[in-house]
Structure 1
Amino acid sequence: MRGSEGLASLAVRRLLHAVVVLWLVSTLVFAFLHLSPLPVERVLGGPRADATALRCIRRNLGLDRPLLVQYGEFMLRLMRGDLGKSYVNGTPVASLIAERLPTTLWLVSGAAVLWLAGGVAIGVLCATRARGLWDRASTVVVLAGMSTPAFVMALVMLYVFSTKAGEAGLGFFEAGPPLREHFWQRMVLPWVSLAFLLLAAYARLTRGALLDVLGEDYVRTARSKGLRERRVIYRHGLRAALAPVVTQFGIDVGTLVGSTIVTEKVFGLQGVGQLVYQSVAAGDTPVIIGVTLLVTVFVVAANLVVDVGHRRLDPRIARA
């Protein structure tokens, strides 16, 4: 009973914290974009637009009103769930995001499975065979992954598995087919290229955390009781070592929703990352604000899940 009450109070505190974070983020983004040295009307009107055309654009967009009035209307729209309309085509921002979001969620979720499962597996292998052959070999892979930028990995995989394999008659990736009809053919390479860097980071994080836990007194006590080594590692050691991994996982999954620009650009995926790229290039302020708030919501939600996961992984937190 006490545990459920503690979980409920934790959820309420996190929700209140989420409201404050969303308000701060929306205010900061509104201020930065509306006080930009490059006016929106100049971006939309182009270099040849005269003063009359620029004033007309500002009036049509409502940018000629006082900044506080714009901010008040902006916050009222957010409270109603209205993210506004795109400056470029007049489409509601929520519709634009909803159209692109499934592709990005598939990209992030598939890559998350790869980097979490692969990183934890490699980290456990390295920690249980510290300074051995497997540990040294995996260290080379980890260093290669940590040193390879995401765009380099994406371009290399696209060149090797699309261009060269296509010339050999092996179609690993084609940008033309629709995503729904050729899902696996379109998504495998983006998943691997996005997960490679994070897989290396998670392997290193898991190895260090597990080595620290295996040196604790309760692990030595479990071994002295005659428990099998596999049970000691996975039941007592890995469970506690996963706490920092879960924390990092929640942060990465939340932030990647809006930061897959390079991967989506290289592989021609029409997701949220592509939408951000196009909106920044066009100066489409409402879409930029909408995507920023979306990423903030995902990060806050991921942190809430992480807090609940910590209570499951470490019983001492629940008792506290």
Structure 2
Amino acid sequence: MLLYILRRAASAISVIFVTLVASYALFLLAPTDPAGTICGPKCTPDRAAEITKALELEEPPLLQIGAYLKGVVAGRDYEIGGTVRECDAPCLGYSFALGRPVTELIGDALPVTLSIVGGAAIIYFGTGVLVGTLAARHRGTTLDRLAVSSSLTINSVPYFIVVLLVALYLSGVVIPRSEYHPLLENPLAWAAGLMAAWLTLGLTNAASYTRYSRAAMIESLGQDYVRTARSKGISERRVVYRHGVRAGLSPVVTIVGLDIAYQLTNTLFTESIFGLPGLGLLTLRAFNTYDLPVLLGSVLVGSTVLVLMNLLVDIIYSFLDPRVRIA
């Protein structure tokens, strides 16, 4: 098991490194003028020269990438207008539009996105697994048909319509108005301000997880070891929740792990509609202002999250499914 984890960790690090180099080349080694793009349409020649010097854009590509990698590991200083701005490790660049290191900007936005995705994941995973398990246990009954039809109905409505309806008619009326408060400062205000985003993202995704869980549980409850457990006189509740759920959760956990990683980098619409200053909203504003360092940092954070979640899912999968054996 330890050797497997080490191999997967080495593979994850190599993927992150390749993504980092490729992303830097895409954003800052393009044939266009990166300094002019970052500076904007009203850029003066002096300002463009400052950005070029600060980013070392006149250096050979390998030296530029090397300086960026060094900044990620050990930090970096940027000289702007005769003033030296420190960027502590891990330094993901400097936003010339906002006048702050990219790491600080992402550090402010990431807790918001993590709060949204984490709370929603608890709702859709818990609700989906519970309803899907009950539907599988009572397969063919009215409960089963109601669960399946309801999930199909919810999934047939585009997500952006659901978000807009909640924001227009429920947020601030039935559900507390959306706003972000740091968790440690006021836990109740933190939860209340995120309730609309949690319920919208959680319940819409719960429909899909109901079907995933139902299908996985039907397959799991038909396995030989489940029939053997029943033949030994073990109670049906214990057979379902002790033996069936553990194996049935394995494919669902794989999906939820990838979904969480995807949503961490794709909550743009949710954050925009509810006005929550998360990573998606930061990336959108960077795109509108051509803030290449922020875009580059967002891509790197997103790819790192995706790779690490894949690694975590692979490890959890081996513990959940007793049929999986890794040498």
Q: TM-score, normalised to structure 1's length?
A: 0.86
1:230 aligns to what?
Answer: 237
Give, in whole Å, the separation in 1 of the partners of 2:239 and 2:323. 19
- Identity, in percent, stands at 34
Matched, 1:308 2:309: no
Matched, 1:121 2:138: no
1:174 aligns to what?
Answer: 177
Give, in whole Å, the separation in 2 of the partners of 1:294 and 1:56. 27
Question: Which of the pair is proportionally richer in helix?
Answer: 1
Q: Aligned ranges for residues 214-225 of structure 1 at < 5 Å? A: 214-225=221-232
Give, in whole Å, the separation in 1 of the partners of 2:284 and 2:306. 20
3-state SS in 1 of match to 2:324: helix
CA contact (8 A) 1:101 1:271 kept: yes
Give, in whole Å, the separation in 1 of the partners of 2:180 and 2:307. 35
2:121 aligns to what?
Answer: 112
Letter in 2 for 1:292: V
CA contact (8 A) 2:254 2:313 kept: yes
Letter in 1 for 2:193: R
Cα displacement string for residues 238-286 of structure 1 (whole angstroms, at most 9, x for unaligned residues): 1101001111111111222221111111111111111111111112222
Matched, 1:9 2:3: yes
CA contact (8 A) 1:61 1:87 kept: no
1:66 aligns to what?
Answer: 60
Q: Aligned ranges for residues 24-173 of structure 1 at < 5 Å? A: 24-34=18-28, 39-47=33-41, 57-59=51-53, 61-80=55-74, 81-162=90-171, 165=173, 172-173=175-176
Identify if the C-alpha distance between structure 1 residues 256 and 319 changes in structure 2 by more than 3 Å, giving closer, same or farther.
Answer: closer
Cα displacement string for residues 166-225 of structure 1 (whole angstroms, at most 9, x for unaligned residues): xxxx5x233568565532331111001112332112111111111111121221222222
Q: Aligned-residue CA RMSD in angstroms? A: 2.4
* 143-152 or 232-241: bigger deviation: 143-152
3-state SS in 2 of match to 1:270: coil
Structure 1: runs of 5+ lacking an equivalent: 1-5
Identify if the C-alpha distance between structure 1 residues 60 and 221 changes in structure 2 by more than 3 Å, giving closer, same or farther.
Answer: closer
The Cα shift of 1:61 comes to: 4.1
CA contact (8 A) 1:150 1:263 kept: no
Matched, 1:277 2:284: yes
Q: TM-score, normalised to structure 2's length?
A: 0.85
CA contact (8 A) 2:179 2:193 kept: no
2:298 aligns to what?
Answer: 291
CA contact (8 A) 1:150 1:262 kept: no
Give, in whole Å, the separation in 2 of the partners of 1:61 and 1:75. 13
The Cα shift of 1:298 comes to: 2.1
The Cα shift of 1:43 comes to: 3.7
Give, in whole Å, the separation in 2 of the partners of 1:162 and 1:271. 18
Structure 2: runs of 5+ lacking an equivalent: 75-89
Matched, 1:252 2:293: no
